[in-house]
Amino acid sequence: MKPKSSYKPVTKVKNPEPSKNSPDWIIWAAWADRITFEEIRKVTGLTEGQVIDRMRKSLRPSSFRLWRKRASTKSIKHQKLFKYRRKNDQAYRAG
């Protein structure tokens, strides 16, 4: 049996970020809550509709429905909507 080379624990990420040149990056970024469609467009040049089409082709139908529901209800996926809701929440809490 080979001895351990290090005693430091290795932290494994469940879904590590793929290379930005990889087509898998678009799928990874679309699932990530904190990456907006605007940021995806800056990196890849794809519009929101093109990202949706890519997801529809890449995912199983049930997975696509789950993602679509999640992406449409999360205010974070759309930068303007996120800022608007954040502003209203802060005004609500202050008043």
Give residue limits of the domains in the chain.
Answer: 23-94
Express each pLDDT in 39-86 by its tens digit. Answer: 999 999 999 999 999 999 999 999 999 999 988 876 667 777 767 766
**Between residues 11 and 65, which one has the greater pLDDT?**
65
pLDDT for 95 beyond 90: no
Read off φ and ψ for residue 12, nearest 5 degrees. Answer: -105, 135
pTM of the model: 0.66
Q: How far is CA 32 from CA 15, 29, 54, 82, in A?
A: 10, 5, 15, 15
**Between residues 84 and 26, which one has the greater pLDDT?**
26
